Amino acid sequence: MMELLQRGGPVMWLHLAAALGVMVIFLERLFHLHRAQIRSDDFLKGIYNILRRGNVVEAVSICEETPGPVAHVVRAAILQHDEPAGAVRRAVESAGIEELPRLEGRLGLLATIAQIEPLVGLLGTVLGMVEVLVTIQQKAPLVQAGDLAGGLWQALISTAAGLAVAIPAYAAYNFLVSRVESLVLDMEWAAVEIVTFLSGNGKKGGASREGD
C-alpha cells in the first residue's frame, strides 16, 4: 500500500482522504437511516389505540421517544389535534420539511466526492505525464525506458485510484438515496393517515397500506 502511495505521487493522498471520507459518511448515514426506519403500520396502530383512550400526553411522549421522521410528523399532528384540519395539515407539512435536511445530510458531499474523484485521478495522470516529458527533455537523446517508469506509474496509479474511489462512492450515494426515498414515502403516508384519523374520518379504521 505504501509503495503504491509513493509511486502514485502526491495526488494519492487526496485519493486516500476521499476514500476515508466516503467510508465515514456512508457508515454514519447508513446507521442514521437504519435507526430512522420503523414499522409505520404498527407504530400508527399503537398511537391510534392511545388516542382513542384520550391519552394525548402519552401519545406525544411515545412519538418523542421514537426516532425517525414518521414519529416526528405524527407528533406534530397530535400537538395540533384540537385545531382545524387545515392547521393540522400545515403542522405536518412543516414537520416534514424539517425532516428532509436530516435525512439528506452529507449526501451532497458524497455525490461531490464521487464526481470529482475521476478528475483528481486525471490531475494525477497529467502530473505523471509532465514528469515523463521533463525526464525526456533532461535525458534526451539517451532516454532509457526505466527513466520514464516513475511518471508512467504515477499517471496510471492515480487514474486507477480515482476510479476505485469514485465507483463505490457513487454506488453508496445511490443506495443511500433509495433509503431516503423509502423513508420519505413512509413519512408522507403516515402524515396522510394521522391527519385523516384526527379529522374524525379514520377513527374506526386501522393503519394499513394497500397491498400490505
Using the Cα atoms of residue 195, residue 196, residue 202 and residue 205 in order, give the sign of their dihedral.
negative
Measure Cα distances from 24 to 21, 157, 159, 209 in Å.
Answer: 5, 24, 23, 35
Q: Residue 182: inside a domain, yes or no?
A: yes
Q: Which domain holds residue 85?
A: 2-198
Residue 209 lies in a domain: no
3-state secondary structure string, 5-60? HHHCCCHHHHHHHHHHHHHHHHHHHHHHHHHHCCCHHHHHHHHHHHHHCCCHHHHH
Around 81, how many Cα atoms within 13 Å sit in the side-chain half-sphere? 18
pLDDT in tens, 87-134: 888 899 999 899 888 888 889 999 999 999 999 999 988 988 888 888
Predicted local distance difference test score (pLDDT) of residue 130:
87
Domain assignment present for residue 208? The answer is no
**Residue 212 within any structural domain of the chain:** no
**Statement: residue 211 has pLDDT above 80:** no
Indicate the number of domains in the chain.
Answer: 1
Measuring CA to CA, how many Å separate 60 from each of 3, 32, 44, 80?
Answer: 58, 22, 12, 11
Tell me: pLDDT of 22 over 60: yes
In a domain, 15, yes or no: yes
Residue 205 resides in a domain? no
Per-residue pLDDT, 143? 66
Q: Are 171 and 26 in contact (CB under 8 A)?
A: no
Ordered alpha helix ranges (H), the chain: 2-7, 11-36, 40-52, 56-65, 69-79, 85-104, 107-139, 145-198
- 139-181 pLDDT, tens digit each: 777 767 676 777 788 888 889 999 999 999 999 999 999 999 9
Angle, CA 131 vertex, CA 133 and CA 153 arms, to 5°: 115
Exposure on the CB side of residue 200, measured as CA atoms within 13 A: 4
Q: Please indicate, yes or no, if residue 204 is contained in any of the structural domains.
A: no
The residue that leads in pLDDT, 76 or 10, is 76
- pLDDT band, very low/low/confident/very high, at 209 (cuts 50, 70, 90): low
In this prediction, residues 179-192 reach a mean pLDDT of 91
